[in-house]
Chains A and B, each alone.
Chain A
Amino acid sequence: MSLSSSDHKAVARRYLWSGLGFLAFGGLLALLIRWQWAFPGQPVPGLAWALPESHGALTPPTYTAVFTTHGLVMIFFAVTPLLFGALGHFVVPLAIGARGLAFPRLSSVGFWVYALGGALVLASFGLRLGPASAGWTGYPPLSTSVFTPGLGQTLVTVAVLCAGVSAFLYGLNFVVTVVRCRAPGMTWGRLPLTVWGLFFASVLNVLFVPVLAAATVLVLMDRLLGTQFFVAGAAAVGGGGDPLVYQHLFWLFGHPEVYILILPAWGMVGDFVAFFSRRPAHGYRLTAGAMGAVSALSGLVYAHHLFTSGMSPVLGRTFMVLTLLISLPAEVMFLNWLMTLWRGSVRLTSPMLAALATMSVFGLGGITGLALGAVATDVPLHGTLWVVGHFHLTMGAASFLGVFAGLYFWFPKMFGRALHEGLAKAHVLASAVLFLGVFGGQLAAGYAGQLRRLYDPYQYTYLRHLLPLNQWTTACAFLLGAVQGLFVVNLAWTLRRGRAADANPWRVGTLEWTCAPSPPPEGNFARPPVVLRGPHALSQPESIERLGRDWLGQAEDLPASPATATSPEAPVALTSGGAS
């Protein structure tokens, strides 16, 4: 399939390779930040070619460019594109029994807009145009040309706009596809939880990415056209703009973005826990409903990011209550996962391990956010590494492990080859443990008062004793980087000479595994499947009795009598269309 193909699977693969590339790039930048906190001002081995003046040591300007780019790249160009661009594009049409996305050309255009944005970020960083350095949040007035004059900041602002356009396009595309293109019989109550997660997250994309676009365009106008939306304080100059308006706009997008990044992972965890416990998901409707409730609340909690901005007590109290409230549906969902595991027949495959790891890091991340939801406890922790550790666990580690859960699960479908299970499991386990090491270390440092984004935290005497802790955390981070080699080796080896995958290696009943060959051809299904049941028809009495296996295809006819023609565990042929 060529680069111009607008088949959803081809677009998905383009997003996959570029997303993985940006993940590696963002990860390397993270290691530079970690190096600086462990060995402040000392040369980074092997970096002398890039920073000859300082013999490879990070200087304060380089450091600000590094952490700004790390945040932007990870959120806009690595994790979101991997979840939606790669997994979402690939899975959504297949899982709902559609021949493709509702607007195939739009998804192809969306990719190229994203690619343009990615190129702009790399250019801003690599071409020494005065790199972006206002932090990933880009608060004005710092992000205006008065305080960050280089071309780099303009380029990344345009790049964020590009990523936003692409996110809006695939969000819209997924929403329309799920609403309009489901196969006959694929009712809302039969959607895999993955599709629910991607659907809700896509709705959030459609609603809130335009807010980001508005903020970004206004900043661009301030930078390029001399407007003053965010430059001067209204109170100070009797007119003009207000920097605080940007913060409200940014977080009105920025907080839902957290859920945009985690909802698809939640959905996958819900599905995989059921698949590999060989049980229907416990409380399917409750789980889908909880994801919906979180989505509905997501835009109403954003101002907890502004608890220390001097906001009025009325707003502060309101957003405190709303923020704490959002933990309720999250708890319902988490308990449902735990209930699904109980009395199951748990198979620790690589996607299952990754799903359990996602649960663990997300659980810890969510729990450590409680103290940030109440105003009084937020004050000592605000702006510290506690916040960094908390959101890296939820939207960093959990989304990352969610991406890999999905990738390990759908890889045989995407490429027709089976990844090495042992390597995959080692990669997932080592990553999960090291994530806990790195972000646990950050939580500890933040609790002790270490502020984020300090080039040299030890300028403050009250932070000096944290050097050993930071060095330990950095060691974990470098190990974490190193174990990603397990994935790279696995990927390269499998793509070159991996064995052909079984048609349904995980023995599950969702449409992509039971109604389409691996990899699926253009158009996905020879005939549109007619869906008869939900996604988690596992260990059902009638299938064990009549077919001798513990799973049932979503579109599979159940023979009236014990199996005669179908042998146990055999992949199911395309089902006939006339079943009722």
Chain B
Amino acid sequence: MSDLAPRPVEASSEQVGGASPRTWTLALPEDASAHGHRIDALLGWSHRFEAGLALVAFGWMAVAVWRFRKAPRATVAHGGTRRSRAWVLGLALGAFLVVDGTLLVGSEGYLRDVLWNLDVPARDPRTARIEINAHQWSWEARYAGADGRFGTADDVVTWNDLRVPVGVPVWVQLVSTDVVHGFSLPHFRVKLDAIPGRVNQTWFQAAREGEWEVACYQHCGTSHYRMRGVLRALSPDAHAAWLREAGRQAERVYDADDSAANWGWEWKAP
């Protein structure tokens, strides 16, 4: 059951390893989210299965080829008996049930509890909401100011700079103004397309403070590779202080006639 729970904020930094630059490694990007460990564990199982299946298949093939290489020709009347074909079907079905079954059940659990469960951010009064507008080639983010409503004068807008509080759900609604982009937070196991004409949404929860990268995973033109943003996970107090101050400044420079700057929408309930 502990595996299903969000990772607590305090205990996280030891578990996920430090932020020091790592040397040559094949590990996933370090996990900074409260729920990513469930995906990681499932991926771990998937890789164990993959290694197992590969070992069996390659081993069988190598042994067969080696053992029967230039073997004296046997007389063979048929291409397998009813019994041997039943073995093939049974083995295939067994491997399928274990391997694919584990992936299906594990994935379904994550989808039900986290990925497609927008009730979690919707119910939590502390939830931080962000509207993101993807452009060639940057991430424009909008935060409702003190009034809690989007599309008003105190909205805070940042470019390639996401700021979220630690330990609370972060609810993202995502659009694109030009082409299809891919909003990706590799360290939070988040990926979602930004598609012109529709509002996609997802949520995540940061487990600890730090700076993480926002990447675009969908080819979106020549400078796709530079569509990099930074996500700062701040303590709730620091985040609130920043938002207050930024909201005040936003209100001061607000220009109601600047239609390009006022792209926010009323928050859409799930």
Known: A328-B96, A380-B186, A456-B225. A343 touches B68 (CB 8 A): yes
Q: Write the A436-478 contact mask toward B (1 if CB under 8 angstroms, else 0).
A: 0000000010011101111111011110110011000000000
- Contact call B57/A363, Cβ cutoff below 8 A: yes
Collect the chain B residues with CB atoms within 8 Å of residue A148's CB: 221
Q: Write the A208-240 contact mask toward B (1 if CB under 8 angstroms, else 0).
A: 000000000000000000000000111111000
Q: Write the B26-42 contact mask toward A (1 if CB under 8 angstroms, else 0).
A: 11110000001011101
Collect the chain B residues with CB atoms within 8 Å of residue A382's CB: 191, 217
Known: A348-B69, A356-B65, A539-B74. A447 touches B28 (CB 8 A): yes
Q: What are 19 A-B contacts with C-beta separation under 8 Å?
A: A142-B220, A232-B197, A243-B195, A308-B191, A310-B201, A316-B116, A335-B91, A336-B80, A341-B64, A363-B54, A382-B191, A447-B28, A448-B25, A449-B29, A460-B213, A460-B228, A465-B25, A540-B76, A544-B73
Most chain A beta-carbon contacts within 10 A, residue among B47, B87, B93, B198: B198
Q: How far is it, in angstroms, between the C-alpha of A88 and the C-alpha of B197 when the chains are bound?
A: 44
The 9 closest A-B pairs by CB, nearest first: A233-B197, A383-B217, A280-B79, A310-B200, A374-B107, A376-B107, A341-B64, A331-B92, A376-B110
- Contact call A461/B92, Cβ cutoff below 8 A: no
Known: A286-B88, A550-B73. A449 touches B186 (CB 8 A): yes
Q: Quick check: which of A131-139, A155-163, A167-175 contacts chain B, the rest being far away?
A: A131-139
Q: How far is it, in angstroms, between the C-alpha of A367 and the C-alpha of B96 when the chains are bound?
A: 11
Q: How far is it, in angstroms, between the C-alpha of A347 and the C-alpha of B187 when the chains are bound?
A: 50
Most chain B beta-carbon contacts within 10 A, residue among A133, A377, A464, A550: A377
Q: How far is it, in angstroms, between the C-alpha of A330 and the C-alpha of B100 when the chains are bound?
A: 13
- Contact call B68/A341, Cβ cutoff below 8 A: yes
Q: How far is it, in angstroms, between the C-alpha of A332 and the C-alpha of B26 when the chains are bound?
A: 32
Q: How far is it, in angstroms, between the C-alpha of A277 and the C-alpha of B64 when the chains are bound?
A: 10
Collect the chain A residues with CB atoms within 8 Å of residue B2's CB: none
- Contact call B39/A376, Cβ cutoff below 8 A: yes
Q: B127 at the A/B interface (Cβ < 8 Å)?
A: no
Q: Quick check: which of B144-152, B162-170, B176-184, B242-250 contacts chain A, the rest being far away?
A: B176-184
Given B68, B115, B182, which contacts A344 in the complex, CB threshold below 8 Å?
B68
Known: A377-B103, A456-B225. A147 touches B179 (CB 8 A): yes
- Contact call B76/A233, Cβ cutoff below 8 A: no
Q: Which residue in chain A gives the minimum CB-CB distance to B95?
A: A331
Q: A61 at the A/B interface (Cβ < 8 Å)?
A: yes
Interface size class of A (residues with CB under 8 A): 35 or more
- Contact call A469/B197, Cβ cutoff below 8 A: no
Question: For residues 273 through 287 of chain A, which have their beta carbon under 8 Å from a beta carbon of chain B?
Answer: 274, 277-284, 286
Q: Quick check: which of A105-113, A317-325, A408-416, A481-489 contacts chain B, the rest being far away?
A: A317-325
Known: A316-B116, A346-B69, A453-B224. A379 touches B88 (CB 8 A): no
Give A538 Cβ to nearest chain B Cβ, in Å: 7
Q: A15 at the A/B interface (Cβ < 8 Å)?
A: no
Q: B17 at the A/B interface (Cβ < 8 Å)?
A: no
Collect the chain B residues with CB atoms within 8 Å of residue A460's CB: 213, 215, 228
- Contact call A142/B76, Cβ cutoff below 8 A: no
Q: Which residue in chain B gives the minimum CB-CB distance to A133?
A: B222
- Contact call B100/A338, Cβ cutoff below 8 A: no
Given B25, B70, B79, which contacts A347 in the complex, CB threshold below 8 Å?
B70
Interface size class of B (residues with CB under 8 A): 35 or more
Q: B259 at the A/B interface (Cβ < 8 Å)?
A: no
Give B187 Cβ to nearest chain A Cβ, in Å: 7
Collect the chain B residues with CB atoms within 8 Å of residue A313's CB: 111, 116
- Contact call B68/A345, Cβ cutoff below 8 A: yes
Give A373 Cβ to nearest chain B Cβ, in Å: 7
Collect the chain A residues with CB atoms within 8 Å of residue B85's CB: 282-283, 286
Q: A575 at the A/B interface (Cβ < 8 Å)?
A: no
Q: A79 at the A/B interface (Cβ < 8 Å)?
A: no
Q: Which residue in chain A gives the minimum CB-CB distance to B189?
A: A380
Q: Write the A256-284 contact mask toward B (1 if CB under 8 angstroms, else 0).
A: 00000000000000000010011111111
- Contact call B68/A243, Cβ cutoff below 8 A: no
- Contact call B75/A540, Cβ cutoff below 8 A: yes
- Contact call A455/B224, Cβ cutoff below 8 A: yes
Collect the chain B residues with CB atoms within 8 Å of residue A557's CB: none
A-B contact count (CB 8 A): 298
Given A282, A335, A452, which contacts B92 in the complex, CB threshold below 8 Å?
A335
Collect the chain A residues with CB atoms within 8 Å of residue B25's CB: 448, 465
- Contact call B93/A282, Cβ cutoff below 8 A: no
- Contact call B197/A243, Cβ cutoff below 8 A: yes
Q: How far is it, in angstroms, between the C-alpha of A416 and the C-alpha of B45 when the chains are bound?
A: 51
Q: Which residue in chain A gives the minimum CB-CB distance to B23?
A: A465
Q: Write the B181-222 contact mask toward A (1 if CB under 8 angstroms, else 0).
A: 010101101111101111111000000000001011111111
- Contact call B224/A370, Cβ cutoff below 8 A: no
- Contact call A377/B193, Cβ cutoff below 8 A: no
Q: B61 at the A/B interface (Cβ < 8 Å)?
A: yes
Collect the chain A residues with CB atoms within 8 Å of residue B199's CB: 235
Give B161 Cβ to nearest chain A Cβ, in Å: 16
Given B23, B79, B218, which contacts A279 in the complex, CB threshold below 8 Å?
B79
Q: A89 at the A/B interface (Cβ < 8 Å)?
A: no
Known: A281-B79, A335-B92, A382-B191. A371 touches B70 (CB 8 A): no
Collect the chain A residues with CB atoms within 8 Å of residue B71's CB: 343-346
Known: A444-B26, A454-B225. A244 touches B61 (CB 8 A): no
Known: A243-B180, A370-B99. A380 touches B79 (CB 8 A): no
Given B107, B192, B197, which contacts A236 in the complex, CB threshold below 8 Å?
B197
Collect the chain A residues with CB atoms within 8 Å of residue B219's CB: 64, 134-135, 139, 142, 452-453
Q: Which residue in chain A gives the minimum CB-CB distance to B65?
A: A346
Collect the chain B residues with CB atoms within 8 Å of residue A282's CB: 79-80, 84-85, 88
Q: B89 at the A/B interface (Cβ < 8 Å)?
A: yes
Q: A375 at the A/B interface (Cβ < 8 Å)?
A: yes
Q: B22 at the A/B interface (Cβ < 8 Å)?
A: yes
Collect the chain A residues with CB atoms within 8 Å of residue B26's CB: 444, 447-448, 469
Collect the chain A residues with CB atoms within 8 Å of residue B197's CB: 232-237, 242-243
Q: Which residue in chain A gives the minimum CB-CB distance to B116?
A: A313
Q: A190 at the A/B interface (Cβ < 8 Å)?
A: no
Give A433 Cβ to nearest chain B Cβ, in Å: 13
Q: A364 at the A/B interface (Cβ < 8 Å)?
A: yes
- Contact call A64/B226, Cβ cutoff below 8 A: no
Given B28, B61, B96, which contacts A380 in the complex, CB threshold below 8 Å?
B28
Collect the chain B residues with CB atoms within 8 Å of residue A377's CB: 39, 42-43, 46, 103, 106-107
- Contact call A346/B70, Cβ cutoff below 8 A: yes
